[in-house]
Structure 1
Amino acid sequence: MATMIEENGPSTHELSSSSKARQKLEGLLNKNMRIRMTDGRTLVGLFLCTDRDCNVILGSAQEFLKSTDTFSQGEPRVLGLAMIPGHHVVSIEVEVDSLDDAQGFGANH
């Protein structure tokens, strides 16, 4: 007697698209990122994780304040572990040296 197993999960196409996005995101783990926030601050640190709400956790984070002089950023403030709420994120950049190891993330975008 054979038993049939039904799957009620996402379709194969959705799963492959989701797994590709997950692989790209996992490729960015422990890479240096620069996150610009709505209040003008910039945080730089190691990308540790994110969640469904696009909140981002950075390790060894440093905060740079918005400068009126474009040539001087001033001294960074060391934060350590930092959580950036997703609704405050304006942009995220991966540092070029870190991106070389990210297995072609964004190469076709």
Structure 2
Amino acid sequence: MYTKKCLIYEEQSEVSSSSQARQKLEGLLNKNMRIRMTDGRTLVGLFLCTDRDCNVILGSAQEFLKSTDTFSQSEPRVLGLAMIPGHHVVSIEVEADSLDDTQGFGANH
């Protein structure tokens, strides 16, 4: 009997944490994201969606190549709609101008 109560509590806890994660993700929709990939490229665009495998869809995406010379700024390549496989994602950042719109993305609500 005790184990059933623990399992029910754990299931409720998982539902609560998953709904909080979902709310945070929904708060990031249509925000500018900067995604660094394993091959050194950086993609910047609007966060449209993700899935369970951490694949990310960016709209109005631009690609920036990794520069060997720190002083040279290459022109971005316009991609439009882009899908980034989750296993190629190194880091994801919210652009500073859209961070103000999220009203405390990192804060607990």
TM-score by length of 2: 0.84
Which structure 2 residue ranges, 5 or more long, are not aligned?
1-12
4+ residue runs of structure 1 moved beyond 2 angstroms?
Answer: none
Q: Hey, what's the Cα distance between the residues in 2 that align with 1:50 and 1:73?
A: 30
**Structure 1 residues 2-49: Cα deviation after superposition (integer angstroms, max 9, x where no partner):** xxxxxxxxxxx2111111110001000000000000000000000000
**Structure 1 residues 41-100: Cα deviation after superposition (integer angstroms, max 9, x where no partner):** 000000000000000000000000000112223000000000000000000010111011
SS class of match (1:100): helix
RMSD: 1.6
CA gap of 1:19–1:108, structure 2 versus 1, over 3 A, is closer
TM-score by length of 1: 0.84
Structure (1/2) with the larger helix percentage = 2
Is residue 65–residue 73 contact of structure 1 (8 Å, CA) maintained in 2? no
